[in-house]
Structure 1
Amino acid sequence: MGELQVYLSVVFIMYCIAYFFDSFFKSCCHYPYIVLMKKSGITIGLMNIQWFTTAFNRLIQKWGTVRPKCLATWYCIGSVVSIALMPVATILIIVRIGYSIKDFFQEDSNGEKSHFAGITFEPVIPGLNLPAQDIFHYIFSLLTCTIVHELGHAVAAAREGLHISGFGVQLLFIIPFAYTLLDQVDNLPPSKQLRVLCAGIWHNLILAVFAAFVVFAMPFIFAPVYSIGQSVHVEQILKDSLLIGPSGLEVGDEITKVNYCPVQDMNSWRDCLVQSTESLSPGYCVSSEFIHQHDESFEVKHLNDGTIDCCRSNMSRNLCFEYLESEFEPIELPQYSCLNVRNVVENFEKPCQTSQECEGLHCFRPMLTSPMKLIQIRRQNKPVILFRGHASEIFRSVGVSEYVPRYFMFPSWLPATISKFFSYLHVFSAGIAVVNVIPCFYFDGFHITRVLVHMIWQRSLPSSVRLAVTTCITILGSFILIIYLVLNLALLITR
């Protein structure tokens, strides 16, 4: 069972226990428990917990009266931007439906699904496309987005003089969201209704821009206390990693190179690992004296996989090296030599692919079974690590950060954690804004559409026709959104 499945199972068990005791105390008419739950505003349901309070009503009403003209201008701009976003969001969803259908039924020449080169927009679902280690980022960033969204509605309503019944937070299994209860929004003039209805979307857009700015500015913010752009810092090594050992990788190491590829940040770390997979294993320029002194060759064997072995089975630190002789020089060394890998790496002059690149020396290349590679991981002020395997194992089992602490009191995980949180905040906040603005039942887009239809055709169409137009638009928007979600869910399951 995966780590995420364990988390979800624990949450499920906790919900069952909470629901059992809640039902037990209520059925027994346990008066102190009932009073406690009523005063705290907590309600426990099947796979959900809800908290409702009126404690913030006065504070929100106060915020709504601070600089009322500025707030009116602020939410007027939000209304215009949100209304302009409606057709853009709808077109985006329709385009994504087209590409999802193409992904579902058509594969490219490489046997992989084709992908849209534009904006990526897909649901993030725990257990399908959410890493286990990101579950808490998922919960807190989503909760932050919904709180900011509902605060937008609440402050805008307070600005228009509406009464706020209360504010609440609900946790539906592991998906959190906030909500605000407002009174008599429909009694406001249409322009003021739009300011209240569009405020949540507008706040989400601003939050998405702010979060993107924070992610962009992270290197500048942490530059005084973290070294950036020179190496990567090892944060985590999985217990089953093949890199663990007496002379292996350790948490806190600074990786500067993979083979001869400089590692400066997360992108170069990935690129160097990919390069080590795609390129041939490099050879090493060594002298003939070195070969004569260290060659421990045994009987040369041609293995079934097409490779050559010239070392004894108990020589785990040795590899069979092939002599890449030049056609312009006499053959003075054996074709295959069994050499200690670390001795070769620590004593070679320079990397090579042919002996022509070695002036006065000879090029020897390790013989490895495909797709195995000999990968050198170079560290700051530590011996080089020699890894015999595939680069995907390194990428899978080693977690790194491009922020290297200058001082011991600053943990390396702090910038990465903050950056990941704001990255999720940006993605979720923008996604909530796009989804909410679509004319779909129970979404802000439905109420915005209703008010817009009323404003446009108030004098030319009767109320029954306006209601029919609103219903048709909402049904169409709901259908589009449902099709999109079903297709993407099917893609995630079959991926």
Structure 2
Amino acid sequence: MFIRLVLQLVIFWFTVYVINYTLLRFPNTKRSYIRILRSLGCHISIGNIGFYSTSFNRLFYQIGRKKPRLWKIWFTIGIFVAFITAIFSCSILVFLPLKYIYDRQQPILFTRQNLTDQNIPIENDRDKLWIQPIIPGVNVPLEELGHFFLALLVCTIFHELGHAIAASVEQVRVNGCGYFLFILYPGAYVDLNEEQIQMITAYRQLRIYCAGVFHNMVLVVVAVIFLLIQPFILRHFYIETASVARISKDSPIYSLLPKHSTIQDIDGCIVRTSNDWYQCLRSISDRHVLDSTGYCLTQAEIQLLSSYTEFNQTSNYDCCQNLSQKNYCFFYHSKQNDSQNGACMEARSVTNHPRCLLQSDCSRQGSDVSCVHPFSSDNITRLIRIVHSQGPAILFVGSINEIYRTISIQSYKAKYSFISTIFITDIPLFFQYVAAFSFALAFFNAVPCYALDGQYILLAFIEHLSPSLYRRRHKNLVYSLIFCTTLLIVNISLAFARYFL
């Protein structure tokens, strides 16, 4: 999926470059093409398309001049929020490399066998990283690209809107604003009059510089509040159930499990909500293969269904030996032979029988009934039966992590057919992206680094505290910016290394 996305991006940008070069190359098209670009405020370069406009300048001015006193109070609060965010961000950036060094020095306390017993946590350690790259096609499903782009664009525009309104409140002219697409990531910026900024006091500068971080944090709060109150709103229009919200195209059961179908049962674990679904997955993962769900079969049924039987089977031997995709190896203990036996049987026929966990669960059905369990030599591959509302039960063979990674479950389903599902799928997903991206923008922009808001916030703050200190210790401030910039680069590099290596 990721390679296909990269190829599509290469083709797209190559096409844009060729068309742009061709139109500029020939005299017949060059003049009219340049006129169109200028009218749109568009500029095109390799991997970048940008637009610049002055159309919103009057709007920024009008917003900033309405109730300026309230706006000043608002952006003064933003200074304190930005400083709290900056302290938090710098603390995290210092803590994470130290934590990484500490973790690397810890002895390995668990053997490989112990680690494989915890299937989901081991394979999803990268999801626990505090800072991780967001790359479509890698950790952002391609079907969520619309939510991804829209949320990122909203967050960047809201960030720059804060700067623009704050500048208008402080009577600093907004020259214009721009929007761009860099390779795959959209963004926005505002062009402020630097001379007018330098003429106002440092405290008024802080209101402008901190406005972007502040607005992003406000957006985070709004998104979180929406996600918290959403379940209470949905209860009036939706019923509580475990409905399939998304299934990735690379899922082994993509063609078998319809979207919006209701999950009823997974491997004997009753599912009513999305929380039940994930708890069941965790429960199945935590159980050893010897404790997995089995099925009660008589000795006659075992003999009838078996295409191959292995007596005294060892724990690392698959009795089916890839005889058929429909068959699966099951182990059991018979009354005649107390040792572990293996039988290669058709999986669907076996899973239609009553479930069991222990041999005693089958004893009330007869003395010759055995509890047969699916076989796994690595304790990772499982045979899992998923019961849903729109078809026969699905038999999945593989890692629990494949189900966990490729299937998303939501807890609500529309009561009436005319109610759209976007309120339980697309809109909450959009707000999740908004919360994540907006917090990331606030987090990184608050750090005193070159080319980020934190650089200007730090300089304006020092100048506000002591103008003489700002002039005398300007070199030390440069060293501080270099240190923080290096610290940020180290953390980003570690994030990429720990995610991909």
Does the residue aligned with 1:64 lie in a helix, a strand or coil? helix
- Given the alignment of the two structures, is residue 241 of structure 1 paired with residue 236 of structure 2, yes or no? no
1:179 aligned residue (181, 189, 206): 189
Q: 1:354 to 1:197 in 2, by over 3 A?
A: same
Question: Does structure 2 retain, via aligned residues, the 8 Å contact 1:285–1:352?
Answer: no
State percent identity of aligned pairs: 25
1:354 aligns with 2:366: no
Task: Indicate the residue corresponding to 1:258 in structure 2.
Answer: 266
Give the structure 2 partner of residue 58 of structure 1: 58
Aligned residues: 477
SS of residue in 1 equivalent to 2:180: strand
Give, in whole Å, the separation in 2 of the partners of 1:388 and 1:416: 28
Picking from 480, 483, 486, the partner of 1:479 is 486
Secondary structure of the structure 1 residue equivalent to 2:478: helix
What is the CA–CA distance in structure 2 between the aligned matches of 1:335 and 1:43, rounded to whole Å?
Answer: 72
* Offset of residue 106 of structure 1: 5.8
- Given that 2:309 and 2:343 are in contact with CA atoms closer than 8 Å, whether structure 1 keeps it comes out as no
Q: Please, which of 365, 371, 389 is the counterpart of residue 364 of structure 1?
A: 371
Alignment of 1:427-466 (within 5 A): 427-458=436-467, 460-461=468-469, 464-466=471-473
1:65-464 matches, cutoff 5 A: 65-102=65-102, 108-110=108-110, 120-126=130-136, 129-183=139-193, 184-228=196-240, 230-233=241-244, 235-236=246-247, 238=249, 241=252, 244=255, 248-279=256-287, 280-285=291-296, 292=300, 295-296=303-304, 300-302=309-311, 316=326, 322-323=332-333, 342=348, 345-346=351-352, 348=354, 351-355=356-360, 358-359=363-364, 361=366, 362-366=369-373, 368-370=375-377, 371=379, 372-380=381-389, 383-410=392-419, 412=421, 415-458=424-467, 460-461=468-469, 464=471
Amino acid at match of 2:458: T
Q: Which amino acid aligns with 1:91?
A: S
Question: Could you say if the C-alpha distance between residues 107 and 212 of structure 1 is closer, same or farther in structure 2, counting changes exceeding 3 Å?
Answer: farther
Of 303-312 and 396-405, deviating more is 303-312
Cα 1:455–1:309 shift into 2, 3 Å: closer
Alignment partners' CA distance in 2, 1:55 and 1:225: 41
**8 Å contact kept, 1:323–1:335:** yes
Q: Which residue of structure 1 lines up, in the alignment, with residue 477 of structure 2?
A: 470
- Partners of 1:171 and 1:200 in 2: how far apart? 20
Superposed CA RMSD = 3.7
Aligned partner of 1:218: which letter?
A: Q
Gap runs ≥5 in structure 1: none
1:8 equivalent in alignment to 2:10: no
Deviations 1:28-69 (A, max 9, x none): 452111111101111111110110001111111111112211
The normalised TM-score by structure 2 is 0.82
Mapped to 2, the partners of 1:131 and 1:194 lie a distance apart of 39
**Compared with structure 1, are the counterparts of its residues 382 and 306 closer, same or farther at alpha carbon in structure 2 (3 Å cutoff)?**
same
Letter in 1 for 2:155: C
Which TM-score applies when normalising by structure 1?
Answer: 0.83
Q: Which amino acid aligns with 2:222?
A: F
Instruction: Give the whole-Å Cα distance in 2 for the aligned partners of 1:337 and 1:17.
Output: 58
Q: 2:489 is matched by which residue type in structure 1?
A: I
**Does structure 1 conserve the Cα–Cα contact (< 8 Å) formed by 2:42 and 2:50?**
yes
SS of 1:482's partner is: helix
Mapped to 1, the partners of 2:405 and 2:376 lie a distance apart of 21
CA shift, 1:441, in A, is 1.4
- Structure 1 pair 41/103, CA: closer, same or farther in 2 (3 Å)? farther
